[in-house]
Chains A and B, each alone.
Chain A
């Protein structure tokens, strides 16, 4: 069992490594460095053998739920299957073992891959250029907002506000704040879409941009996109798309055609690179002509003598990453796109939409569906009926774990009380979806018949319900010898 910390397995003098013997004069640190810069005591790292390390982390791994095990319907996270071929090919030494400062002549394959990935992303989104630098969606948002700021500054005034719908991801307002703007919320209308009347009222010359997730976090397409884009552009502001939900739109419609000036994509969502237990991701940003001058440096260009990095962009916002972004993630996304092609990509979004609607249809008789019409890739239920019986959405989520499923995103979006945000993705079979519906039905029944069973869930997981209050009080964040 992995009930011990690796530190608790430590035994004096055990080693888990085999380093070469020095083949140069084995001088002591004191002979090479002044004594005052040297460490006075060794770091208290554990002393364990390789076999103990491997067993420890293998045992730990078995406490995780993961996509290769089953349905992982976290809304807005697009937890789809990650093709094995991507994992395999990204390990080729010609990708994995490249130093970022090698001469460009020696990394032509890598530059070509980045160049072609950018071209494909431009075609998919209808944008003019992409930066591949941002490491995740939130960094993509910040990159875009800093470009928007540079754009307005160039026109004489950076402006003050960024409008964000109340259904938006929390990263939107957080990125806005970091870019030096004030986040102003626009409410959703009874259909779950941006309230056009309120948006019209909020629009003025102080607005730098509107950040819009489309489809939004209710899984609904912003049908008034034309009116929204016009309202934004009339006051000289820019329209930004949070592309977290791009899995709904591949080959169906393009942000650039919808009037967006910038969009970030999440390669770890839409293009199926693994989520890594929380990262690494990749959050490239695409822009149209208005913002192209402000992209971070460097961009990859194709010249007569091959591919090269171009740092010569006087209006660039600068750099968002130490090097060029999460290259290893780009390799996997490139493979995914090359294997799918245009038809395959469209099938991805069609599959995601069919699966979501099928699941929604199966569940809406048992859970309240606040916005009852066709969704795109995800939908949001409310546990309000169950709440009235004394069972919270959190309890339902925990009970799902007992039935062998990961829980949906819960309590988000904030505009739906007791929200359960469900995104099955296209890589789930009908059996898998039927199994999920069955489990959710049973839980609804349990709420009626034996609510305590649900309230005290989970019962079959490696640990039972964890005491969050104690964790917040103790703040035990590290092993102490």
Chain B
């Protein structure tokens, strides 16, 4: 087998050096009644040529976004992945290393993480960021847990416009603990601040608000920091990192913790993963951060270098008293985000966000000119909005998919009412948007309601 570099003769030599006659002697500690007597029932082995053919065929059973037009949103977006990002993360110096436990031979990974932490801080306006979480959903759940640990309070208030998948993960993660998770109702597609004011008291650990929210609405957050802090609770913001090219960052709203799905930063949609969750907070909470953290230091000759720091927060030292159980994270995806943000720079992130904004508004204006298609909430939006069609969302989605155009997700699948989401990234051309409009106009009137 090509991945085992030991010949039969070498193996015999090695067994004899170990002092056994055959391999079976080495596994005598496994009680014989538990040893498999026949081979596993698995498909027969394939050569590289055969597996390549098989995988190509399998991949062609999928309708990929390289050949179809994607207006899908809901937490994963068809953004541009620059060639230089792929080229860097495909270097085996990065992808075949592991967690930088031996700092002296891991400076590449460590410095890249330090730069990642810095970039996330700049983008979010926060003081400190960790090296990554699994995804936006688990980062949101960990933010709730961190607020519980900081405040000792047991109620988490969550906007009803938080990504429903994030909410599900949050409730699953906290299901073994004595936390009460309550929803803050919406008004016109945005979180209802009056209702929030009525729910806030000194039992609240944190308030979790997504911006732009799951329905695409850019929330009006100027008062919320003060409101939340008045009762000593923490403000957790869940944000789209691309939007921060033009939208006010969590730090400016007084957020205590900022998290989000980092997929949009140089990671392909890849059927939902691997992505990365970014996680940032204010300096005073650094010791409560989950996950890995890299700090700068010097070596014995005074040269700058980087190491994992505050490891006493982590599970391998602190065990059950750790701030989180996370060990392996999404380092390579964070590296993609690092290269992506570096390529874009201060001007590029704004230009990119602006393209999304302009295209989304163009699309919305023309889409809602079609008879019967309504913008669900007349509120500010960034790169995504909710549409209510004159027939069921599912019918629209299926009809368009036949034409090679993807929109959605259907809000009904999350119990979030009528309609579906439409998202535009910088990749969508006017031509593609016009094609979507033309197709929507052609939905047979017979299918329409009424």
CB–CB B172/A39 < 8 A: no
Q: Which residue of B lies closest to A132 (CB)?
A: B273
Does the CB pair B112–A351 fall under 8 Å? no
Query: What's the Cα separation between A399 and B316 when bound, in Å?
Result: 23
CB distance B347 to A347 under 8 Å? no
- B300 engages A358 (CB within 8 Å): no
Q: Is A451 an interface residue (CB 8 A)?
A: no
Minimum C-beta distance from A231 to chain B (A) = 16
Kindly state the separation between the CA atoms of A479 and B128 in the bound complex, as whole angstroms. Answer: 10
Interface residues of A toward B: which range?
35 or more
Of all chain B residues, which has the CB nearest A274? Answer: B95
- For the complex, count residues of B whose C-beta is within 8 A of A: 209
Tell me the nearest residue of chain A to B130, going by C-beta: A477
A130 within 8 A of B: no
A411-430 vs B, Cβ < 8 Å mask (1 yes, 0 no): 01000000000000011111
**A43 close to B91 (CB less than 8 A):** no
B226 in the interface (beta carbon within 8 A): no
How many pairs, one residue from A and one from B, have CB atoms within 8 Å of each other in the complex? 704
Q: Decide: A251 near B39, CB < 8 A? Known: A101-B74, A475-B309.
A: yes
User: For the complex, is A445 an interface residue (Cβ under 8 Å from B)?
Assistant: no
**Is the C-beta of A146 less than 8 angstroms from some C-beta in chain B?**
yes
Q: Which residues of B contact A453 (CB under 8 A)?
A: none
Contact A53 B342 (CB under 8 A): yes
In the bound complex, how far is the Cα of B177 from the Cα of A11, in angstroms? Answer: 50
- Among A12-20, A199-207, A285-293, A383-391, which stretch is in contact with chain B? A12-20
B104–A136 CB distance below 8 A = no
B343 on interface, CB distance cutoff 8 Å: yes
The stretch of B8-16, B192-200, B385-393 in contact with A is: B8-16
Whether B295 is near chain A, meaning CB under 8 Å from some CB there, is yes
**CB within 8 Å for A466 and B103 given contacts A20-B426, A358-B14:** yes
Residue B151 is within 8 A (CB to CB) of chain A in the complex: no
CA distance A160 to B409 in the complex (A): 40
Query: Which residue of A is nearest B433, CB measured?
Result: A24
Contact between B166 and A322 (Cβ–Cβ < 8 Å)? yes
Q: Contact at A471–B176, with CB atoms within 8 Å?
A: no
Please tell me if B446 contacts chain A, counting CB pairs below 8 Å. no
Give Cα distance in the complex from A105 to B399, angstroms.
12
**Identity of the chain B residue whose Cβ is nearest the Cβ of A220 in the assembled complex:** B29
Report A300-324 CB contacts with B as 1/0, cut-off 8 Å.
0000000000000000011111111
Smallest CB–CB gap between A154 and chain B, Å?
13
A289–B433 Cα distance when bound, in Å, is 49
Q: Evaluate whether A65 and B102 lie within 8 angstroms (CB atoms) in the complex, with A323-B273, A468-B297 already known.
A: yes
Cβ of B101: which chain A residues have Cβ within 8 Å of it? Answer: 74, 407, 409
* B140 CB → nearest A CB, Å: 9
Q: Does A190 contact B (CB under 8 A)?
A: no
Q: Complex: how many Å from CA A67 to CA B97?
A: 6
A342 at the interface (CB under 8 A from B): yes
Which B residues are in CB contact (< 8 Å) with A251? 36, 39-40
Determine the chain A residues whose CB is within 8 A of the CB of B244 once the complex forms.
Answer: 39, 43
The answer to whether A378 has its CB under 8 Å from any CB of chain B is no
CA distance A16 to B102 in the complex (A): 32
Q: Are A341 and B107 in contact (CB under 8 A)?
A: no
Which of B51, B64, B350 touches A85 (beta carbons < 8 Å)? Answer: B51
Picked from B102, B115, B171, B315, the residue with its CB within 8 Å of the CB of A318 is: B171
Q: A471-B307, A472-B310 are in contact. Are A139 and B134 (CB under 8 A)?
A: yes
List the A side residues contacting B331 at CB < 8 Å.
276-280
**Contact assessment for A38 and B248 in the assembled complex, using a CB-CB cutoff below 8 Å:** yes
Residues of B contacting A176 in the complex (Cβ-Cβ under 8 angstroms): 320
Choose from B5, B45, B67, B333 the contact partner of A429 (Cβ within 8 Å). B5
Residues of chain B in range 347-366 having any CB-CB distance to chain A below 8 Å? 347-352, 354-355, 357-359, 361-362
Point out which of A61, A326, A471, A478 has the most chain B C-beta atoms below 10 A from its C-beta: A478
Contact: A94 with B98, CB < 8 Å?
no
B339 within 8 A of A: yes
Are A477 and B295 closer than 8 Å at their CB atoms? Answer: yes
From known contacts A22-B358, A181-B176, A470-B297, infer whether A98 and B64 are also in contact, taking CB-CB under 8 Å. yes
Contacts A361-B19, A406-B102, A478-B118 given; does A342 touch B328 at CB 8 Å: no
Expressed in whole angstroms, the Cα–Cα distance for A6 and B339 within the complex equals 10
B98 touches A325 (CB 8 A): no
Q: Could you tell me if A135 and B176 are in contact, using CB atoms closer than 8 angstroms?
A: no
On whether A345 and B40 interact (CB within 8 A), knowing A36-B222, A62-B93, A463-B305, the answer reads: yes
A100 and chain B: residue at smallest CB distance: B272
Closest to A325 in B: B273
Cα distance A458–B433 when bound, in Å?
58
Known: A170-B315, A318-B171. A68 touches B92 (CB 8 A): yes
28 A-B residue pairs with CB within 8 Å: A5-B115, A19-B348, A36-B222, A39-B247, A39-B248, A43-B249, A44-B122, A46-B342, A48-B343, A50-B84, A66-B94, A67-B96, A87-B90, A98-B62, A138-B325, A142-B173, A170-B317, A252-B36, A274-B96, A277-B99, A321-B138, A322-B75, A327-B271, A344-B1, A430-B10, A463-B103, A466-B297, A477-B309
- A276-B94, A324-B272 are known; give 15 further A-B pairs, CB within 8 A: A6-B115, A23-B429, A64-B106, A107-B62, A146-B175, A178-B324, A225-B31, A254-B36, A276-B330, A321-B135, A323-B76, A337-B42, A465-B104, A466-B298, A472-B309
Q: Which 10 A-B residue pairings sit nearest by Cβ, starting from the closest?
A: A323-B272, A94-B59, A180-B176, A109-B61, A341-B45, A278-B331, A276-B332, A318-B172, A100-B272, A280-B274
